[in-house]
Structures are given as C-alpha cells and as structure tokens.
Amino acid sequence: DSGVTQTPKHLITATGQRVTLRCSPRSGDLSVYWYQQSLDQGLQFLIQYYNGEERAKGNILERFSAQQFPDLHSELNLSSLELGDSALYFCASSVETGGRGELFFGEGSRLTVL
Amino acid sequence: AQSVTQLGSHVSVSEGALVLLRCNYSSSVPPYLFWYVQYPNQGLQLLLKYTSAATLVKGINGFEAEFKKSETSFHLTKPSAHMSDAAEYFCAVSDRTGNTGGFKTIFGAGTRLFVKA
C-alpha cells in the first residue's frame, strides 16, 4: 500500500461527458502528479501541483484540468470525453518538488469512454 | 528536454538466469534516474534511484543499476530471476520544467519481463 488513494477505481461513461477523478496523497506529501497510461502512448505526464500551486505541465489537453485543494487532495477533471481518452489515470505524490524524490503511485482510475 | 529509451518492449528469461533491462537517457545536465516496477493491476513502485551519489545503485528485491555517463545508460540487472519478478519495468528521468521550480518525471515505454519456469 503506497498510501495514495484514488477514486473511483473504474469508471465507464459516454463520449461528450465529464468526469472527475480524485486523489488523496500520502500523509505529509505536498506534491501531486497526474499521469495517463495507455497502450499506444505509454505513461504520459499530465500535470504537477505543489502545496496548491501548479508547478509543472506536461501533455495535458485543454479539455482536462486539475487542482489541488488546501487539504492537499487533488482532482483531475476530464470534459468533452472522447474515445481516445480511455486510459488508466494515475496519481502520484512525493514529499518534495525537487525531482530527486520517489513518486508514490496510487492504483489508478481506469476510465472507459464508450 | 530529457528523454528515456528502453531497448526491448519484452524480455524473456528463465528462472535463475540473469536479468538485464536496458535504459538509455538523453540529458544535458546530470540527471536523476529511476527504475520503477508495475505489477498487474497495480500502480508503479520504486525499485531504485540514482541521484549523483554512487554510480552503482542497489534497490529492492535484489535489483541494481549502474549509471554510466559515457554511455548515457542506466541498465537494470538482477543476477538470478525469480518467477515473482515477472512485471513491467519502467526507466525514468526527472526533468525540470520552466521556471516554476517544478519537475516532471518522464518514463520510458516500459519493458515487460517474462520469467519461464
């Protein structure tokens, strides 16, 4: 158990819909990262937050947004969903933002868009 | 921008044989390098990391990796494979992004390790 909690574990929805994925980091970790894992794209970095502020941005689509709340949990919002958004979405946390630290991953949220 | 290349999407070894998973990185500065393992239906977990200390890094479950700057490589090895080592392995490099103080960890495409009895 990494200590990172992601909900929901599975989600099935239709094209055009909007979903919210939730992540609770390990106790004491201030950084939260979101990744998308798919068969064709591999593990893609989406975005990083540190103590409520956006710190790094990767290949995140404009239809996607994220935020980190004062209690440090984070949400990833995916809107106008397309078939290609079907993937496993991971949240990870770390105690620092300096790049040297280990990332602790949750078990992921599997999104299926029909 | 830094990047990671893992050679071989699939590697198959016999139980008890040497495991060698290859990783090459591109970096203009001394990198932070990592190996992660992903078991089925689980998130990734850290095997080991290199952060500019010793070039030979020992990790969990008997794995180790050697940082070779001249070859820009960070290959993962284990002397004797066990059935429980069957999983997907990811090499990763940490890359600073912009001026916000943030880092993104970039992962390779992954290598699936099969262990034959």
Element (H, E) at A47: strand A42-50
How many beta-carbon pairs under 8 angstroms link A with B? 73
- Of A50, A90, A107, nearest to B102 by CB-CB distance is A50
* pLDDT computed for residue B57 by the predictor: 94
Mean pLDDT by 10 residues, chain B (117 residues): 89 97 84 92 91 88 94 96 97 77 84 96
- Which chain B residue has its CA at the smallest distance from A51's CA? B102
Residues from chain A contacting residue B36 (CB–CB below 8 Å): 103
* pLDDT computed for residue A1 by the predictor: 84
pLDDT tens series, chain A, 114 aa? 889 999 999 999 999 999 999 999 999 999 999 999 998 888 999 999 999 999 888 889 999 999 999 999 999 999 999 999 999 999 999 987 666 778 999 999 999 999
* pLDDT computed for residue B103 by the predictor: 75
Say whether residue B40 is in contact with chain A using an 8 A CB cutoff.
Answer: no
Distance from the Cα of B111 to chain A's closest Cα (Å) equals 11
Rounded distance, CA A59 to CA B107, Å? Answer: 13
Rounded distance, CA A44 to CA A39, Å? Answer: 11
pLDDT digits (tens, 9 = 90+) for B48-65: 999 877 889 999 999 999
Rounded distance, CA B78 to CA A85, Å? Answer: 36
Q: Are residues B66 and B22 in contact, defined by beta-carbon separation less than 8 angstroms?
A: no
C-beta atoms of B51 and A100 within 8 A: yes
- Of A58, A100, A107, nearest to B104 by CB-CB distance is A58
Distance from the Cα of A98 to chain B's closest Cα (Å) equals 6
Residues from chain B contacting residue A97 (CB–CB below 8 Å): 101-103
* pLDDT computed for residue B27 by the predictor: 74
- Which chain A residue has its CA at the smallest distance from B52's CA? A100
Rounded distance, CA A62 to CA A76, Å? Answer: 12
Per the structure block, which two tokens stand in for B20?
Answer: 């060698």
